């Protein structure tokens, strides 16, 4: 025989434990679903919100819930839609869509308190799945609010119906907020001491590509006739000391060595661990800094030109490129060291041939131009200077709207279009150098960055994506040459919006020689930098709290070699201390409140005891008052009012502080 509790059999509405329980649940579910609208198909979000609205109307209008046949049809249609959209029911996207769809459909059969509790707990899982797609600070704050609302709804479902006035949802929200505050110490301890995972905790945020400025391991000059500058953050950097001057802010990414005449590509990485390269030798000072990369779906690590060593989790390969051991699908943090002046190792014969490779049948006019410009040159450095002078003196323009070059991009750019952006100039310069017998290659990455004075860090955006060249000079090794920098400002054609984002300054001088830009930030700029600073701290101290950071923390505390067992014991000890301290504090605060209420009631019991009236063991105050009134009718109804007021103050939540004064006054006036 199955025992059924009255709570399970009682209908949810209108005999709900609190009138706002269902509405609080619907509000919490709507808040939980909101961040998913940017990651799920539109029909999933539309279906979920339509069902939430339908359930609200059912309660408000007093309609019947849909019949079983309609619910089954909706279940089948939702399941079919998920299969058509994702071709599966498992995985991050499909699994989350299935969870959200079934959560919304569950509302159509919610009749009891138990049903509502099930919906709320599934809503908690909906909160968790949000972090599979986004871990940004706004999303985290929004999900905290959703969690508080879900907890308030859970509290409301377990409260018995009460008499008198009620503020819809406010007491439950206050209680849920108090519970969250009480959990903060435990949450902080778990965050700091729980063993960190080497990979992303929640999953892999989706990486979307678009025809905007950014970075790729291939380059095809002439295939794009409009460059759209993206203001999205590529990475942020914190320097141990002052950041380098503007002329040294070249952030090294993929090095492109091979060309087929139309496109450039990096050397394919072999499967498994890529081969390590000999680090460069620093000449003079170097910079220590931390880079926090946004997810880009590749393995390269952006480093200030050039990195001197590989950080933890990365490898230094040919071309002084840093390659992560895992795909960077979530924000990643790297401790780096780079030198602005460096000396490279001698070129191997294979690398020498690769740096001179040109495809047959391409660039005939560029080859002839290279021979013409460099004829009679005494050394490679003079050949570089002559080619740069050609770009500076001839009518070459930097523009975000270059013409399409689909035949021979280099020849068409040099002799016909003479308009392009950094890819055109880097590719053309590298071809001219190779045609002149100078080893050269294309380097892609980012150039520049904006110093945020509020956070004292450097923010590099996708609009800072850049391409330049490197040439091999005898006695100096690989040397950076940026042909774009020699274009005079009078031949720079950018829209006002692009100038606002990028603010280029090409005037023929090196960046170290240019004066600092005269830019006065507006109020909106201050807000933007403030928000960027907050995001940077969130990424660095919360999302970037890795196993290495945890080890450094324990090192500062005097435990540099804490084992996993020691870490777990420390975690258990800290949790135990926090739990005991929190319990003691709550008991102390609760006792103070109970003592104030119980003191007048105890005085009344002492007066009644002198007349032989004592409460029985476990007897509630209201029943004790009814028994005494039956024995001594003169005490009615004052004693019943005192007992009811004491019970409300002692055990209730929605109380008025003036009621305590009223209780004291009624006890004083009662004549036994």
Residues marked as catalytic: 422, 466, 482
Q: Which residues of 368-388 are buried (b: 16+ CB within 10 A; e: fewer)?
A: ebbeebbeeeeebeebbebbb
**C-alpha to C-alpha distance for 470 and 478, rounded to whole angstroms:** 6
Structure token pair of residue 530 = 């403030």
Token readout for 371 is: 């021979």
Residues 174, 178, 184, CA angle at the centre, nearest 5°? 145
Convert 154-214 into a string of H (helix), E (strand) and C (coil).
HHHHCCCCCCCCCCCCHHHHHHHHHHHHHHHHHHHHHHHHCCCCCCCCCCCCCCCCCCCCC
Classified as helix, coil or strand, 418 is: coil
Write out the E strands in 412-535.
419-420, 440-447, 450-452, 457-461, 465-473, 477-481, 492-493
Residue 551 DSSP code: H
- Beta-carbon contacts of 221 under 8 Å, excluding residues fewer than 6 positions away, are 405, 409, 410, 413, 420, 423, 424, 427, 428
Q: Measure Cα distances from 108 to 58, 158, 408, 414 in Å.
A: 9, 21, 64, 68
What is the signed CA dihedral for 450, 525, 502, 288, rounded to 10 degrees? Answer: 10
Burial string for 135-149 (b: 16+ CB within 10 Å, else e) reads: bbeebbebbeebbbb
Using the structure block, give the residue that is written with the tokens 């099930």.
118
Q: Per the structure block, which two tokens stand in for 234?
A: 């590529």
- Within 10 angstroms of residue 83's Cβ, the number of other Cβ atoms is 13
Going edge to edge, which strands form the sheet with 492-493?
419-420, 397-399, 492-493
């Amino acid at each position: 025989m199955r025992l059924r509790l009255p709570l399970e059999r009682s209908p949810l509405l209108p005999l709900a434990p609190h009138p706002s329980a269902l509405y609080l649940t619907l509000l919490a579910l709507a808040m939980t679903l909101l961040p998913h609208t940017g990651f799920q198909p539109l029909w999933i979000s539309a279906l979920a919100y339509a069902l939430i609205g339908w359930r609200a109307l059912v309660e408000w209008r007093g309609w019947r819930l849909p019949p079983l046949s309609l619910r089954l049809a909706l279940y089948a249609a939702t399941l079919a839609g998920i299969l058509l959209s994702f071709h599966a029911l498992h995985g991050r996207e499909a699994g989350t869509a299935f969870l959200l769809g079934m959560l919304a459909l569950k509302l159509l059969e919610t009749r009891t308190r138990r049903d509502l509790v099930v919906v709320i707990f599934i809503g908690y899982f909906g909160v968790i799945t949000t972090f599979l797609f986004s871990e940004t600070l706004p999303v985290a704050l929004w999900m905290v609010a959703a969690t508080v609302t879900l907890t308030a709804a859970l509290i409301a479902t377990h409260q018995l119906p009460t008499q008198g006035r009620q503020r819809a949802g406010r007491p439950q929200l206050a209680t849920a907020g108090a519970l969250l505050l009480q959990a903060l110490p435990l949450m902080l301890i778990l965050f700091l001491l729980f063993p960190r995972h080497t990979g992303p905790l929640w999953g892999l945020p989706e990486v979307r590509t678009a025809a905007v400025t950014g970075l790729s391991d291939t380059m095809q000059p002439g295939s794009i006739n409009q460059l759209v500058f993206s203001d999205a953050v590529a990475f942020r950097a914190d320097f141990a000391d002052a950041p380098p001057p503007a002329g040294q802010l070249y952030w090294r990414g993929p090095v492109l060595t091979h060309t087929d005449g139309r496109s450039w590509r990096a050397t394919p990485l072999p499967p498994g661990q890529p081969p390590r390269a000999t680090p460069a030798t620093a000449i003079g000072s170097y910079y220590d800094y931390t880079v926090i990369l946004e997810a880009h779906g590749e393995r390269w690590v952006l480093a200030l030109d050039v990195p001197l060593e590989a950080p933890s989790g990365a490898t230094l390969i040919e071309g002084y490129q840093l390659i992560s051991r895992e795909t960077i699908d979530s924000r990643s943090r790297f401790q780096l060291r780079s030198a602005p002046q460096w000396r490279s190792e001698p070129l191997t014969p294979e690398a020498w041939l690769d740096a001179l490779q040109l495809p047959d049948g391409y660039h005939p006019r560029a080859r002839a131009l290279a021979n013409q410009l460099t004829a009679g040159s005494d050394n490679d450095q003079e050949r570089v200077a002559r080619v740069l002078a050609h770009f500076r003196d001839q009518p070459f323009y930097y523009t975000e709207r270059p013409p399409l070059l689909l035949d021979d991009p280099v020849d068409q750019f040099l002799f016909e279009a003479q308009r392009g952006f950094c890819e055109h100039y880097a590719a053309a310069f590298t071809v001219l150098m190779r045609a002149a017998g100078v080893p050269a290659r294309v380097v892609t990455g980012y150039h520049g960055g904006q110093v945020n004075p509020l956070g004292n860090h450097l923010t590099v955006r996708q609009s800072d994506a850049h391409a330049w060249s490197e040439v091999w000079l005898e006695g100096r090794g690989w040397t950076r040459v940026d042909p774009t920098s020699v274009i005079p400002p009078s031949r720079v054609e950018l829209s006002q919006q692009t100038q606002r984002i990028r603010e280029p300054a090409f005037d023929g001088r090196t960046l170290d020689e240019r004066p600092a830009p005269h830019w006065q930030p507006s109020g909106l700029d201050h807000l933007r930098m403030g928000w960027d600073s907050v995001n940077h701290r969130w990424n660095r101290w919360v999302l970037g709290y890795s196993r290495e950071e945890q080890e450094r923390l324990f090192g500062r505390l005097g435990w540099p070699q804490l084992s996993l067992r020691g870490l777990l014991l420390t975690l258990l000890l800290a949790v135990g201390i926090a739990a005991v301290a929190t319990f003691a504090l709550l008991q102390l605060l609760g006792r103070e409140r109970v003592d104030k209420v119980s003191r007048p009631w105890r005085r009344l019991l002492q007066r009644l005891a002198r007349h032989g009236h004592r409460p029985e063991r476990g007897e509630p105050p209201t029943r004790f008052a009814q028994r005494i009134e039956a024995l001594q009718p003169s005490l009615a109804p004052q004693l019943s009012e005192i007992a009811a007021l004491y019970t409300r103050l002692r055990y209730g939540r929605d109380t008025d502080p003036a009621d305590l004064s009223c209780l004291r006054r009624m006890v004083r006036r009662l004549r036994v």
